[in-house]
Amino acid sequence: MPIGIALIGVSFGGLWILMGSRVAWGSLSIIPYQFTSSWILSSIPMFLFLGFISYHTQLTRGMFHAARIWLSALPGGLAIALIFGSAGFAAVSGSSIACSAAMGRIAIPEMMKHRYHPELATGTVAVAGTIGALIPPSIILILYGVIAQISITDLFLGGISAGLLTALGYVIVVLVRVWLNPDLAPDRDPGVTWSEKLLALKGTWPILLIMLGIFGGLFGGIFTPTEAGAVGAFLACLVALVSGQLTLARFLTAARETLMTTAALLIIAVGASLLTRFLALSGAGDYLSTGIMSIATNPVMLMIGIVCVYLLIGMFLEPIGAMLLTLPIILPVVDASGWSLLWFGIVLTKLLEIGMITPPIGMNVFVIKSVVGELVKTSAIFRGVLWFIVMDLILVAILCAFPQLVLFLPGLSG
């Protein structure tokens, strides 16, 4: 059963049993409207449309090509180029799955041609996609901001440092692996001239123009994060049209995928809102929150418990469903502990994205499997991401130990 329908069914049935049919039907008629009428949520379909347009019109291909040319002399240069190319695509997509799918189709054939080991090639693509949820615009951060009532702009600023730190951590993993076993990435091309490097930069203008338009207007105060999605989607369509990549078929495909994804997200979010009401009326939310606080009086142990819960849930649920299912219980605990809700939102996003690459249901891994087909086994892709999962856990520990890494940029804007 889809998680959104399951959430709605449990909440509706629970309210009926506790409060009667009138309260249950009243909640079902009022809460979905109250949640979905939030103006901030209108940015979600716009950012999704921006990502799908960029993907289907191949606006990101030049970004990867430039990174490949500039980093070709490094050990594992193609894998490192993929990581930075994914960071660039993440700045216009907001979705780790879209990021993995787009970069996988571009990068994996190139890496295979240069005799990269399949585990390194596919594993790097799968984990690089997770940067998409951290670097703004991020769908997860927008939803978290709506629920936790935190500034979306501050969340975006906090996500930048976490996303760049993640990219750096992944680069270190690639360099260490290739240093330990040069056969993983045997081909290097140290003979690239400066003229070739400068020429490669020409292909990056579509993504750079869109990023400049979004972030320049957003942080310059010209428009809000909500309006930034529409501006970005318009810029993507305009750039794709000017570059000759936008056709009616591609436009309609992007629009259809945007509608389907938005509908699925909102159904899950409505179910989570109903669950919040059910937990509040039943007292279960307060009971669970108080229970968690009493068990883990030590803040370190409490954080370790929360990390373990999300790592476990992430093995079976997709990130947005896992977040919306647990926030009604976890947010009061975090607030009562005196932690920054902004900082926790970034750490939570990082934990949810680890779930995208952990077995048995690592969505990014299955996306890459659909790209490579029978060329690489699913088990080989999971083996390829193991090193990166270790780095992710180290990065979570760093973010928990040094919250200012997340809070520094939002503090400057304040």
Q: Which residues contact 215 (CB under 8 A, 6 or more apart)?
A: 91, 136
- Residue 98 within any structural domain of the chain: yes
- Residue 23 within any structural domain of the chain: no
Across the range 167-183, mean pLDDT stands at 91
Question: What was the pLDDT predicted at 188?
Answer: 64
Q: For residue 13, what pLDDT band results from cuts at 50, 70 and 90?
A: very high
Whether the pLDDT of residue 77 is over 90: the answer is no
Q: Is 116 helix (H, G, I), strand (E, B) or coil?
A: coil
Return the closest-CA partner of residue 3 out of 259, 309, 319.
Answer: 319
Host domain of residue 178: 38-413
Question: What was the pLDDT predicted at 393?
Answer: 94
pLDDT digits (tens, 9 = 90+) for 198-218: 787 777 788 788 878 887 887
CA distance 41 to 33: 12
User: Which amino acid is residue 297, in one-letter code?
Assistant: T
Question: What was the pLDDT predicted at 152?
Answer: 87
Question: What was the pLDDT predicted at 215?
Answer: 77
> What is the 8-class DSSP label of residue 374?
G
How far is it between the farthest Cα atoms of the chain? 75
Across the range 161-168, mean pLDDT stands at 91
- Residue 168 within any structural domain of the chain: yes
Across the range 320-331, mean pLDDT stands at 82
Tokens (6 digits) for 330: 């976890």
CB 14 within 8 A of CB 282: yes
- Residue 5 within any structural domain of the chain: no
Question: What was the pLDDT predicted at 220?
Answer: 77
Range with the poorest average pLDDT among 29-38, 153-162, 178-187, 195-204: 195-204
Return the closest-CA partner of residue 86 out of 140, 50, 159, 135.
Answer: 135
- Residue 391 within any structural domain of the chain: yes
Distance of alpha carbon 193 from the chain centroid? 35
- Residue 29 within any structural domain of the chain: no
- Residue 9 within any structural domain of the chain: no
Question: What was the pLDDT predicted at 349?
Answer: 92
Per the model's pLDDT, the better-predicted residue between 176 and 34 turns out to be 176
Distance of alpha carbon 195 from the chain centroid? 35
- Residue 313 within any structural domain of the chain: yes
pTM: 0.79
Buried b (16+ CB within 10 A) or exposed e, 149-171: ebebbbbbbbbbbbbebbbebbb
Number of domains comprising the chain = 1
Tokens (6 digits) for 19: 């409060």
Quick one: CA dihedral 239, 244, 246, 250, positive or negative?
negative
Whether the pLDDT of residue 389 is over 80: the answer is yes
